[in-house]
Amino acid sequence: MTTATLDAPSQARPAKQKVILCEGNEAAALGVALARPDMVAVYPITPQSSLVEHVAKLIADGRMDADIVDAEGEHSVLSVLQGGALAGARTYTATCGPGLAFMFEPYFRTSGMRLPIVMTIVTRDGITPQSVWGGHQDAMTVREVGWVQVYCETVQEVLDTTVMAFKIAEHHDVMLPVNVCLDGNYLSYGTSRVELPEQAEVDAFMGVKDVNWHVALDPLRPMAVDPLTGGSGGKGPSSFVRYRKGQCRGMQNSLRVIEEVHQEWAQRFGRNFAPLVEEYRLDGADYAIMTLGSMTGAAKDAIDEARDAGKRVGLIKLKTFSPFPVEALLKSLRKVRALGVVDRSVGFRWNCGPMYQETMGALYRLARESGSILPSMSFIGGLAGADITVGHFHRVIEATEKLLTGSAPTEPVWLNEKD
């Protein structure tokens, strides 16, 4: 099935787009403006602040027609948007770190109510030790709450993905909130060349807004929203189980919709981002390293250098992290014989990076079908604003190469420990 509003763009080649220079936070704000939300609620927090300042300025300058609510905290930010969405508004906000922690209560509920709110997480490490710097710990901590989460690699991808996120969230087969994760510091403040799509082209891409067809607070069609719902149905199937299954189905559907929306974006605007899993020089590789977010740029440079030096290494990058794109990842994993996974956060329970922990589930599936276990290991780097440089990736490549012949360490490698 294709997206409902898909119609082919008038020209075969996408229209020429204005080129500007902007930081990632501004790119996100411009993406938001292009998606034309009705309501934006904001509360400042480092390193997200300039994003909401850009949004406020776009509205103040008349370049964006949205109701902006300067709420008194992140908890209310998301709550205001829930109200707005239930009344039919397209809604947006951004946060990170402690702000995300503070809004956890309504955050949990947004996916449960199937409200297609788009929220940027300008990822940040911490909370303790105190840190205002980048890292994926905040977004990773809430990966099990039913939001779709996608991670961007470049400033351009931030802009494009922000627009696409609204379409993914509001797709009737999905109806789930979406986090666009952009790396605090690196992408938030990183200034780079960006192509800006035309508003009319984006309007055609977005189609007609309909965000509360399934649940609404509207005197014209009165209903009770979120009544007490039990797990044991008495007579008939349990409403609670039905509800949860629906959420899981929405998450799984989103994998297909993310691909479709990215395809349509590429068609209309000429920029082709891997929607779920990106492979870089994986063909002919014996082993691979796996990355997420803005670290991937340096990793690609390191792969090029390693390839030039005769090493048979490739790269797998995840864009979509929630839902975990198991099938797409398996296609890539089948091509290699060893894997090193680099996380920018910590999974406390398994003493490894969270992406590595999730990947182990996929590796189990791979082992069942192949009968052998793919050796793998976890690297943790780039915490609290630390760099993961090309040099670090060379260490990752070397250590992963050794898995082909030696045994896999059970402890993670902490990349910045001795920097």
Partner 1 sequence: MGRGYNTIAFDAAKCDGCGDCMTACATVKTGTDDKARSRIQIVGSESDGFELALCRQCGDPKCVTVCPAAALTKNYDTGVIEWNAAKCVDCLLCTIGCTYAGIALDAGVGHVAKCDMCYASPAGAPACVPACPHDALTYITTSRIYNEVGDWEDLFAPGLAGCQGCNTELLMRHTLRRVGPDTVLATPPGCVPGMGSVGFNGTTGTKIPVFHPLLTNTAAMLAGIKRQYKRVGREITALAIAGDGGASDVGFQSLSGAAERNEQILFMVVDNEGYMNTGMQRSSCTPYGAWTSTTPVGKGSGGMPAQGKTQDAKNLPLIMVNHRCEYVATASTAYMEDLYDKLDKAIQASKRGFAYLHVYSPCTTGWRFPTDQNMEVARKAVETNFVMLWEYTRATACTSRGRSMIRCRSRSI
Partner 2 sequence: MYEVRFHGRGGQGAVTAAAMLASALLEEGKYAVSIPSFGFERRGAPVVSFLRCSDREIRQMTNIYAPDCLICVDPTLAKSVDIFSGLKPGGTLVQATHKPLAEVVLSEAVGVVGLCDAIGIALEVFKRPITNTLMLGAFARTTGVVSLEALKRSLEDSDFRDAGLAQNLIALERGYNETVVHIIERRVAA
Residues of this chain that interact with partner 2 (CB under 8 A) are: 19, 21, 23, 47, 132-134, 154, 183, 185-187, 189-193, 294-298, 300-301, 385, 387-390
- Residue 96 three-state SS: coil
Contacted by 71, from partner 1, partner 2, none: CB < 5 to 8 Å by type: partner 1
Nearer to partner 2, 137 or 185 (CB): 185
- Contacts with partner 1, residue ranges (CB under 8 A): 38-39, 41, 67, 69-73, 75-77, 79-89, 91, 105-106, 109, 216-219, 221-230, 233-234, 239
Nearer to partner 1, 87 or 408 (CB): 87
- Residue 379 three-state SS: strand
Nearer to partner 1, 41 or 374 (CB): 41
Q: Pick from 113, 122, 178: which is nearest to 149 by CA?
A: 178
Contacted by 75, from partner 1, partner 2, none: CB < 5 to 8 Å by type: partner 1
Nearer to partner 1, 87 or 127 (CB): 87
Nearer to partner 2, 162 or 359 (CB): 162
Contacted by 67, from partner 2, partner 1, none: CB < 5 to 8 Å by type: partner 1
What minimum distance in Å lies between the beta carbon of 233 and partner 1?
A: 7
Nearer to partner 1, 225 or 404 (CB): 225
Give the pairing of strands 313-318 and 277-280: antiparallel
What minimum distance in Å lies between the beta carbon of 90 and partner 1?
A: 10
Q: Which region, left, alpha or beta, applies to residue 277 given φ > 0 means left and ψ of -120 to 50 means alpha? A: beta
Contacted by 191, from partner 1, partner 2, none: CB < 5 to 8 Å by type: partner 2
What minimum distance in Å lies between the beta carbon of 289 and partner 1?
A: 42
What minimum distance in Å lies between the beta carbon of 60 and partner 2?
A: 14
- Residue 313 three-state SS: strand
- DSSP states along 330-370: HHHHTT-SEEEEEESS-BTTTTB-HHHHHHHHHHHHHHHHH
Nearer to partner 2, 138 or 170 (CB): 138
Contacted by 134, from partner 1, partner 2, none: CB < 5 to 8 Å by type: partner 2
- Rounded to an integer, what distance in angstroms lies between the CA atom of residue 342 and that of residue 338? 13
- Rounded to an integer, what distance in angstroms lies between the CA atom of residue 84 and that of residue 1? 30
- Rounded to an integer, what distance in angstroms lies between the CA atom of residue 282 and that of residue 260? 23
- Residue 298 three-state SS: helix
Provide the 10 A C-beta neighbour count for residue 226: 11
- DSSP states along 242-274: HHHHHHHHHHHHHHHHHHHHHHHHHHHHS----
Contacted by 353, from partner 2, partner 1, none: CB < 5 to 8 Å by type: none
Provide the 10 A C-beta neighbour count for residue 308: 8
What minimum distance in Å lies between the beta carbon of 364 and partner 2?
A: 32
Nearer to partner 2, 176 or 194 (CB): 194
Sequence length of the chain is 419
Nearer to partner 1, 66 or 150 (CB): 66
What minimum distance in Å lies between the beta carbon of 169 and partner 1?
A: 17
What minimum distance in Å lies between the beta carbon of 272 and partner 2?
A: 14
Give phi and psi for 287, each to the nearest 5: -145, 165
- Residue 398 three-state SS: helix
Residue holding tokens 């974006």?
Answer: 265
What minimum distance in Å lies between the beta carbon of 2 and partner 2?
A: 31
Are 46 and 72 in contact by the 8 Å Cβ rule? The answer is: no
Contacted by 300, from partner 2, partner 1, none: CB < 5 to 8 Å by type: partner 2
Are 315 and 393 in contact by the 8 Å Cβ rule? The answer is: no
Contacted by 228, from partner 1, partner 2, none: CB < 5 to 8 Å by type: partner 1
What minimum distance in Å lies between the beta carbon of 11 and partner 2?
A: 24
- Residue 122 three-state SS: strand
